[in-house]
Amino acid sequence: MGTGRRDIDGVSILEFRAGSAPEPLDVPDKGYKMLKTDYVFHATEEARELERLQMLERIFDPGTQRRMLATGLTTGWHCLEVGAGAGSIVRWLEQRVGPSGKVVAVDTNPRFLRGSGSSTIEILQGDICDMELPPAAFDLVHARYVMIHIADYQTAFERMLRCVKPGGWVVIEEPDFQAARAVAGPDEARAAFGRVSEAIERMFTSLGMDHALGAKLPVLFRRHHLDQVTVEHEGHLSAGGDLIPQMMRLSAEQLQAKYVATGLVTESDMEQYGRLADDPDFWAIYYATVAVIGWWQPQCGGRTQG
Ligand SMILES: C[S@@+](CC[C@H](N)C(=O)[O-])C[C@H]1O[C@@H](n2cnc3c(N)ncnc32)[C@H](O)[C@@H]1O
């Protein structure tokens, strides 16, 4: 499993991938290798991607933190953050668990992850689907907007479940792009928004990914016999000028070629979609987030096999 350890800014980064060594891609030398991945944003320009991820954190961290605190998160807990992105939740968890706790961050491309220099945070580079993580080791396992990017999301979920201690918690938050719809604005603008939403669906399905994955999470939790399951479904109804349209515009700019390649949108649709992000009279649900919390106790159900 482990293929090498290196130190960046005082943080130990372990690169690993079960079975085979990571395949390096042609990226500027940042002190780590990028694993081959289907993640749609993997080849995006670094500064733009960081801006997008930080905007996402600004919008969604308060809800994520509330959900994590609802599990009883406290000093000394061991937490696993999967697909840690720009790392704000990792840093927040470090404060919550304190020096007696542990925060392990996993990402196929930990380009934006930096620790505080303390030994509380460990950053692992790898694909959640084929990493050998310690079994039954974490009080809390969390992923946000990660499984949507994984075709074999069931394996990803099972890998995460294996890491949860008996009596530990799983918190997963994923988008449901099927919830997208234009609500108010000129017909033509609403039609362009609808075409971009269809292109988003087509891009995900052409990669074998499920654009409506968020809505399937409760079924997944039940199938794996998690207990005390709570489900929140949050449709993000927003007007131009709000943060979500701005964030979606950043995504669309980075993925424009992929959307246009579906044949469902033109460049002019994409330009219009970008302008709508600033139009206070245009209202839409860009997508919904489904957040599910579950408690893992082996005697309450059958543990995932494999
Ligand atoms: C949309 S970002 C979300 C980042 C962060 N969870 C957040 O919500 O702010 C998805 C992150 O998951 C990582 N990722 C994608 N596929 C992954 C996989 N198979 N295993 C581990 N990380 C993955 C990406 O590199 C990226 O950092």
pLDDT digits (tens, 9 = 90+) for 264-277: 999 999 999 999 99
Task: Please give the tally of structural domains in the chain.
Answer: 1
The rounded Å distance from CA 151 to ligand 1 centre is 13
Asked, for residue 152, whether it belongs to a domain, the answer is yes
Q: Residues 160-172: what's their mean pLDDT?
A: 97
Q: Whose CA is nearest to atom 24 of ligand 1?
A: 83
**pLDDT computed for residue 199 by the predictor:** 97
Q: Is the pLDDT of residue 88 over 70?
A: yes
- 4 pLDDT band, cuts 50/70/90, is very low
Q: Is the pLDDT of residue 31 over 90?
A: no
pLDDT tens string 102-111: 999 999 999 9
Between CA 241 and CA 246 the distance in angstroms is 7
Asked, for residue 39, whether it belongs to a domain, the answer is yes
Q: Is the pLDDT of residue 27 over 50?
A: no
**C-beta atoms surrounding 274 within 10 Å:** 18
Residues 6+ apart with CB under 8 A from 142: 64, 68, 79, 80, 81, 82, 89, 170, 171, 172
Residues 6+ apart with CB under 8 A from 289: 60, 63, 173, 174, 175, 176, 214, 232, 233, 234, 236
Q: Residues 127-137: what's their mean pLDDT?
A: 95
The rounded Å distance from CA 170 to ligand 1 centre is 16
Diameter over CA atoms, the chain:
57
- Residue, of 143 and 14, whose pLDDT is higher: 143
Asked, for residue 268, whether it belongs to a domain, the answer is no
Between CA 139 and CA 143 the distance in angstroms is 14
Asked, for residue 198, whether it belongs to a domain, the answer is no
The rounded Å distance from CA 186 to ligand 1 centre is 35
Q: Kindly report the CA angle at 274 between 185 and 59, in degrees rounded to 5?
A: 90
The rounded Å distance from CA 107 to ligand 1 centre is 6
Q: Whose CA is nearest to atom 10 of ligand 1?
A: 146
The beta strands (E) that lie in the chain are given as: 2-8, 11-16, 78-82, 102-107, 121-125, 138-144, 164-176, 181-184, 227-239, 283-296
**CB-defined site of ligand 1, < 6 Å:** 37, 39, 53, 56-57, 82-85, 106-109, 127-129, 144-146, 149-150
- Residue, of 17 and 82, whose pLDDT is higher: 82
Ligand 1 pocket, mutate which of 107, 131, 157, 247 (most atoms under 8 A from CB): 107
Q: Residues 290-298: what's their mean pLDDT?
A: 94
Asked, for residue 262, whether it belongs to a domain, the answer is no
Q: Kindly report the CA angle at 30 between 28 and 34, in degrees rounded to 5?
A: 75
Asked, for residue 179, whether it belongs to a domain, the answer is no
Q: Which has the closest alpha carbon to 227: 292, 289, 163, 175?
A: 292
Q: Whose CA is nearest to atom 26 of ligand 1?
A: 85
Provide the residue type at 94 as one letter.
E
- 114 pLDDT band, cuts 50/70/90, is confident
**pLDDT computed for residue 41 by the predictor:** 74
Asked, for residue 266, whether it belongs to a domain, the answer is no
Between CA 64 and CA 77 the distance in angstroms is 17
The rounded Å distance from CA 89 to ligand 1 centre is 12
Q: Whose CA is nearest to atom 11 of ligand 1?
A: 83
Q: Which has the closest alpha carbon to 71: 215, 221, 219, 229?
A: 229
Token duo for residue 18: 């079960």
Between CA 113 and CA 150 the distance in angstroms is 20
Q: What is the CATH number for 82? A: 3.40.50.150
Atom of ligand 1 nearest to the CA of 61: 9
Between CA 34 and CA 49 the distance in angstroms is 15
Q: Whose CA is nearest to atom 5 of ligand 1?
A: 85
Give the range of the structural domain holding residue 19, as residue numbers without chain letter: 2-169+211-237+288-300
Ligand 1 pocket, mutate which of 13, 49, 56, 146 (most atoms under 8 A from CB): 146
- 43 pLDDT band, cuts 50/70/90, is low
**pLDDT computed for residue 299 by the predictor:** 65
pTM of the prediction? Answer: 0.87
